Amino acid sequence: MNKPKASANTGTIALNKKARHEYFLEDKFEAGIELQGWEVKSIRAGKVNIADTYVVIRNNEAYLLGSQIQPLLSASSHVVCDSERSRKLLLKRRELDKLIGASEREGYSIVATAMYWKRHLVKLEIHLAKGKKAHDKRDTVKERDWQRQKERIMKHKVG
């Protein structure tokens, strides 16, 4: 019997850490992704990158742009592997309507923050997001540093 890989135990495939720094993340959605067979194999091997990804709405459907899934060397020769193709996201109509309304009327961006396994399916965590200004980013860094300092002070007082 095969031993499961470490990434299969945690469930997380890829993270977009830059999104928390660049945006104020608000509403969270879970979306399925329409994948081809070679893409699932590459994801299982960990050859995926979702940094700099975002979601666009075309024809009342959501598509993931900017993600990279590198094909395996052992992929079939008759399959054309496009590592940066746009991938359709599978969402419920009500969720799509909310995303469309927020992005068109209220000026929100739709950003992918994480890709993970849910049972045997690949899921994508997306957020409605507002862009941060430079001063907002500095405030976030200051707050994070202050929280770290507080933890150190409390640790030394207790111990």
pLDDT value for 159 = 60
For residue 71, is it within any domain?
yes
- Report the CATH number that the domain containing residue 21 is assigned in CATH: 2.40.280.10
pLDDT value for 18 = 84
For residue 123, is it within any domain?
yes
pLDDT value for 59 = 92
Query: Considering its fold, how many domains does the chain have in total?
Result: 1
For residue 149, is it within any domain?
no
Q: Are 67 and 53 in contact, with CB atoms under 8 Å apart? A: yes
Mind listing the pLDDT tens digit of every residue in the chain (159 residues)?
444 444 445 688 989 888 887 888 888 999 999 988 888 888 888 889 998 888 899 999 999 998 888 888 776 667 777 878 889 999 999 999 999 988 888 888 899 999 999 998 999 999 998 887 777 778 888 888 888 988 888 888 776
Q: Which has the closest alpha carbon to 140: 24, 15, 27? A: 24
Q: Which has the closest alpha carbon to 137: 24, 17, 15, 16? A: 24
Containing domain of residue 56, as a range? Answer: 6-132
pLDDT value for 97 = 92
Rounded CA gap, 99 and 84, in Å?
23
For residue 110, is it within any domain?
yes
pLDDT value for 108 = 87
For residue 1, is it within any domain?
no
For residue 51, is it within any domain?
yes
CB atoms within 10 A of CB 81: 15
For residue 44, is it within any domain?
yes
Is residue 64 within a helix (H) or strand (E), and if so which, with residue range?
A: strand 61-65
The pTM assigned to this predicted structure is 0.75
pLDDT value for 9 = 54
Is residue 139 within a helix (H) or strand (E), and if so which, with residue range?
A: helix 134-158
For residue 145, is it within any domain?
no
